[in-house]
Structure 1
Amino acid sequence: MILIVAGGAVDREALHRMIPQARWIIAADGGAAHLRALGVLPHRVVGDLDSMDAETQSWLEGAGVPIERHPVDKDATDLELALEGARALEGPVRVLGAWGSRLDQTVASLLLLAHPRWAGRDVRFIDGQREAFIVRGEGWIEGAPGDRVSLIPLAGDAEGVTLEGLFYPLHEGRLPFASTLGVSNRLVAPRARVRVRHGVLLVIHEQGAPD
């Protein structure tokens, strides 16, 4: 597994739990501070370093961690650059700290999941008990009955949508783009199946979410 730690809010327990599973750890700029708090060195740091404190930068440089530094005036966020660097590595990708206080960056970060370059790769943004990922073709949601699940069409309508294991099932249905039809469904089984014949679905799964 490839673990990317960005500079947004990070659930420290989730980070601590995922570190032993990671074959590669990449810090996106200020995300290195989350790793430093646990005493864990990343394999690489990517970004313009504009949100990294001096102590963390000194810690990284002292340990000889490779730093891929970019100019502040660039055409991609630090997270996008870190994701790009992860493409050449094998395995699923998990991103912590993708959600932040800036709505523009949060929305743009979520849309990164839908880029065709990630088709066929298991890439998920994790935020405590919440995860976001893309379904093209077929995918599965694993959790507990009662977990909230929202399915949001991107890049146009999602056609031929079949939902199994959810409170509001669907068979070869349609989820229109720019509608809220797929918001606030919920699991009724430990595993739900999502299939879409045409289109892209953003899945947001919240474990233990109230009805």
Structure 2
Amino acid sequence: MGILLLPGICAKFPFGGTENPLVFVSGGRPPALSWMKTFFPGKELWCVDSGLVPCLDAGFLPTRLIGDGDSTPPEIWEKASREGVRIERFPRDKDQTDIQLAFLRAGEERVRNNAVVTGCWGGRFDHLWSGIYSFFWAREKGLRILAFADEREVLFLLEGDEEMDLHIEETEGKNLSLLPLGGDCSGVTVRGVQWELEDAELLQGRPFAVSNRILKGKTPRISLKKGTLGVYCG
């Protein structure tokens, strides 16, 4: 069993290698400074274009910068270069998004088996949607995306025949939603919430398992037998 410790949430996965994931910092809503200062230390950071800005502002220097540079001031890229950050710059007109290129590089180089994406929320919906669904593509390249996360929202990704526990420090006002991704999910069971499920089928075309309430003092446990399930906390 592996543990992913995010600020305020401890997720237990049924496989190892989750304690020290690669962290992608994307160019959406910047994570809170306190969140970064808690989660980033000791992690390898890859910035995706303008994700470089909050990373540097928080005092963290990434090991890699990937993107086309269309949303970051040139002087920020120059500063990263002077500080020794390895940079891969791509043309603006390309087939993949910046985050997809970052997933590709990480998979090719086998930097880590597992990763977390932050700086992904609060921006353009099409970028968020394509980033989340690139989970499948990244998996084919050897990279498992564990979560898309910041201090406001977390989307964990769970696959068939897997189970996870969520230890959440502050449950008041928190909701838990189960979102079938890439098709229907079967054998879904959830405990520790107001409306529990037992061996249920969740259909992608009928996403009704949203806004469940996490019970105070309880540890939600989610499992499924088949499919890919997004477990959203926010």
Match of 1:153 among 171, 180, 194: 180
Q: Which runs of 5+ in 2 are unaligned?
A: 1-19
The DSSP-based 3-state class of the residue aligned with 2:181 is strand
Q: CA offsets per residue over residues 138-190 of structure 1, 9 Å max, x none? A: 22222144421110112222111111112111111111112132111122244
Question: Distance in 2 between the 1:89 and 1:38 partners?
Answer: 24
1:38 correspondence with 2:58: yes
Residue 21 of structure 1: how far off its partner (Å): 3.4
Match of 2:190 among 130, 150, 163: 163
Greater Cα offset, 2-11 or 105-114: 105-114
Q: Which TM-score applies when normalising by structure 2?
A: 0.80
Q: Which runs of 5+ in 1 are unaligned?
A: 207-211
Residue 134 of structure 1: how far off its partner (Å): 0.9
The DSSP-based 3-state class of the residue aligned with 1:191 is coil
1:16 correspondence with 2:37: yes
Residue 91 of structure 1: how far off its partner (Å): 5.5
Match of 1:106 among 128, 134, 137: 128
Question: Distance in 1 between the 2:190 and 2:124 partners?
Answer: 32
Question: Distance in 1 between the 2:77 and 2:48 partners?
Answer: 12
**Alignment correspondent of 1:196:** 224
- Residues 67 and 124 of structure 1: is their aligned pair in 2 closer, same or farther, counting only changes over 3 Å? same
Report the number of matched residues. Answer: 205
- Residues 165 and 21 of structure 1: is their aligned pair in 2 closer, same or farther, counting only changes over 3 Å? farther
TM alignment of 1:51-130, pairs within 5 A = 51-87=71-107, 88-90=110-112, 92-115=114-137, 116-117=139-140, 121=144, 123-130=146-153
**Alignment correspondent of 2:157:** 134
Letter paired with 1:90: R
Question: Distance in 1 between the 2:48 and 2:197 partners?
Answer: 39
Match of 1:186 among 210, 213, 217: 213
Letter paired with 1:199: G
The answer on whether the counterparts of 1:15 and 1:96 sit within 8 Å (CA) in structure 2 is no
The answer on whether the counterparts of 2:28 and 2:124 sit within 8 Å (CA) in structure 1 is no
Runs of 4+ in 1 over 4 A off after TM superposition: none
Residue 205 of structure 1: how far off its partner (Å): 0.8
Letter paired with 1:158: C
Q: Which TM-score applies when normalising by structure 1?
A: 0.88
The DSSP-based 3-state class of the residue aligned with 2:40 is helix
Percentage of identical aligned residues: 29
Question: Distance in 1 between the 2:195 and 2:79 partners?
Answer: 50
